[in-house]
């Protein structure tokens, strides 16, 4: 198998010694994604924010138990896109490290959103284990790829993530019928990264077609 080729996992495969890649963890992540999507729907039920708010703008929602930040970049497109794709990012932080670099690069990436009009919203939610989950809603899969391949994002994935995370789950999917349809998101693929080893372990679980 080529070095760059990720391990292919079946829908129910459980990689030995890698509990972060258990299918049950995906189910937990989907609960968080659903929560962030419901918050987006509540926000979009308000009258249009334009031109009262600049783009993007940030809202702090939730409570002290589950702080939740939502950044709206294009509320009109969030209302009208028929099946917007999404990316869900869930990572386990390494214990005992200063997480300031993660916060700093996150703030820098948010500032770049106006240069990536295909990013419609960006949500972050605190998880019970002290980590965070992110939901990025996009106009198209290609828009997500362009953001991922940008200089700062590529550097963060290549250098910062392995240093500060022990593992990462990266979900890809769509909101069928549009975000406002109320239908549950469809998960198409999950990528796994294990940074606990000198040569990162990578795997991929494909669950559906269309991404």
Q: How far apart are CA 165 and CA 193, in angstroms?
A: 9
Is the separation of the CB atoms in 65 and 59 below 8 Å?
A: no
Is the separation of the CB atoms in 200 and 194 below 8 Å?
A: yes
Q: How far apart are CA 157 and CA 152, in angstroms?
A: 9
Average pLDDT, stretch 65-82?
85
Neighbours of 1 (CB within 10 A): 7
**68 vs 25: which has the higher pLDDT:** 25
| pLDDT tens figures, 164-187 | 999 999 999 999 999 999 898 999
pLDDT at 29 over 90: yes
pTM of the model: 0.88
| pLDDT tens figures, 96-130 | 888 888 888 888 888 888 888 899 999 998 888 88
- Strand 186-194 and strand 165-174: pairing? antiparallel
CATH number of 7-206: 3.30.70.100
Bridge partners of residue 180, in order along the sequence: none
């Amino acid at each position: 198998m080529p070095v760059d080729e990720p391990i292919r996992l079946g829908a129910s495969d459980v990689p030995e010694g890698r509990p972060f890649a258990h299918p049950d963890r995906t189910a937990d992540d989907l609960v968080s994604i659903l929560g962030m999507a419901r918050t987006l729907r509540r926000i979009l039920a308000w009258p249009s924010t334009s031109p009262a708010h600049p783009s993007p703008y940030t809202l702090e929602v939730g409570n002290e138990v589950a702080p939740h930040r939502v950044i709206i970049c294009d509320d009109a497109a969030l209302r009208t896109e028929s099946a917007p794709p999404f990316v869900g990012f869930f990572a386990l932080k390494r214990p005992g490290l200063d997480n300031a670099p993660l916060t700093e690069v996150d703030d820098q990436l948010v500032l770049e959103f106006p240069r990536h009009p295909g990013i419609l919203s960006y949500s972050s939610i605190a998880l019970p284990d002290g980590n965070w989950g992110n939901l990025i809603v996009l106009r198209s899969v290609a828009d997500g790829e362009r953001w991922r391949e940008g200089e700062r994002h590529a550097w963060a994935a290549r250098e910062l993530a392995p240093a500060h995370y022990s593992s990462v789950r990266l979900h890809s999917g769509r909101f069928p019928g549009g975000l406002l349809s109320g239908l549950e998101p469809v998960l198409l693929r999950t990528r796994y990264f294990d940074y606990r080893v000198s040569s990162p372990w990578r795997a991929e679980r494909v669950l559906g077609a269309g991404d």
